[in-house]
Homo-oligomer: A and B are copies of this chain.
Amino acid sequence: MTVQRPIDAAQPGVDAVTTRAPKAVKLENVSVVFGRGEKAVTALAPTTLDLEKGAFLALVGPSGCGKSTILKLVSNLLAPSSGVVIVGGKEAKAKALKVGMAFQNPTMLPWLSIERNVMLPLKIVPPYCHRFRAERKGEFRDRVHALLDKVGLTGFGDHFPWQLSGGMLQRASLCRALIHEPDLLLLDEPFGALDQFTREELWAILQDLYLDRRPSVILVTHDLREAGFLASRICVMSPRPGKIISDRAVDIPRPRDIGLIYQPAFVEMTQELRALIAQVRK
């Protein structure tokens, strides 16, 4: 069911499908070092990574290995210390793609209600921003509420962020990443604070959405089943300073059903990944 290919991080494994597809994201020998001199911390060792357009990549690795750093590089929140980051064919700062990002810490603007927070991308990102004034109490509002309903936050649109529980905030943050139908979806542990059932529901929702619009996705997660269920490719990172030490495809046909995760082949794949991670930890 899956093919594991231990690969050189500098020349990531490329299978037949992926070589032909145009690239949504390209990291070429990108490294990130914070601080200088003695106190310098290498957050990311030189890393090369391609993401084909429409691919769903899961990024797993031990705490502090640089997963969030990679997402920040791709969304141009961070400039690489070396190497280049190409997004949608241009340098990351050109913002060639419509990006949606769910942060690890679901940062909401505290002065805006949940509804207004979730609506933010529609205010900023073209083409929505042109219609924002006209639609913010009409179509856009309905759209936000429909999405909030989907993730189980019905009726919390007019609450303020501090009135929500941790898991609820995380769901709102996911909505904010999705509302403007981005071409490139960056999700940093978007389900970490959720119970298993809510989580599985959201997996299904995310998968539907992916199948529907085929954005390119990078999902950071600690849950191997989550990675296996959602992703078409799983990259495993080494401990800090991290680099990608394994890159494997997940060739399970979509739509995938939640029952999948109890199937022996699937369990076997997660066990394999687990073993791999256990090995690199030493």
Contacts and interface: CB of A to CB of B under 8 A. Distances in A.
Contact of A196 (B163, B195, B274): B274
Contacts of A68: 165-166
Interface in A132-170: 152, 159, 163-168
A111 interface: no
Of the four ranges (under 10, 10 to 19, 20 to 34, 35 or more), the interface on chain A belongs to 35 or more
A128 interface: no
Contacts of A61: 195
B197 A224 contact: no
Given A63-B171, A105-B105, A171-B63, A195 B165 contact: no
A41 B195 contact: no
A165 to B, nearest CB: 5
Interface stretch (A21-29, A49-57, A175-183, A186-194): A186-194
Contacts of A16: none
Contacts of A64: 164-165, 167-168
A188 to B, nearest CB: 8
6 contacts: A60-B195, A63-B195, A64-B164, A64-B168, A68-B166, A196-B274
